[in-house]
Structure 1
Amino acid sequence: MKWTICIKNTGFEASLETRKLYTVEDDLKAQAHGMIRVVDESGEGYLYPAQMFGPIALQNTLESQLLAA
């Protein structure tokens, strides 16, 4: 699973929280347009500008704990 952290939420303050981790769905078409598909609390994936996020690599144990939470 891929993870990202929101580093900027300008224009999307109601939808995104800065410094919050989100899971990422692979979407090559979105990536080609500079977008990223992140999954919110509802389990739905939404497109946002990729520059609003930074990739995160998690250790397996931490990832397991986050997924179980």
Structure 2
Amino acid sequence: MSTPQSALIDWNLSRVTRLAISAVAVFLALRLTDDFLPGLGMAIVLAIVLDIPWWLHTHYVAQFKEK
């Protein structure tokens, strides 16, 4: 199986969550800004802020499984 096929077929919870976070960040950036560069900056900041809870959850679960 080629790399693009495996990237499209191999979906897990982490990938779906990151895709949803990115979509929400872009949607909010488009709604809150008018220009391209501020919108791009806003999308990046929102993606980082919205991804922090998921990142904390996955690291907490990984630490819990190690113990």
The structure with more radius of gyration: 2
Structure of higher RCO (CA pairs closer than 8 Å, 6+ residues apart) = 1
User: Fold-level match, TM-score > 0.5?
Assistant: no
Structure with more strand by fraction: 1
TM-score (norm 1): 0.20
- TM-score under structure 2 length normalisation: 0.20
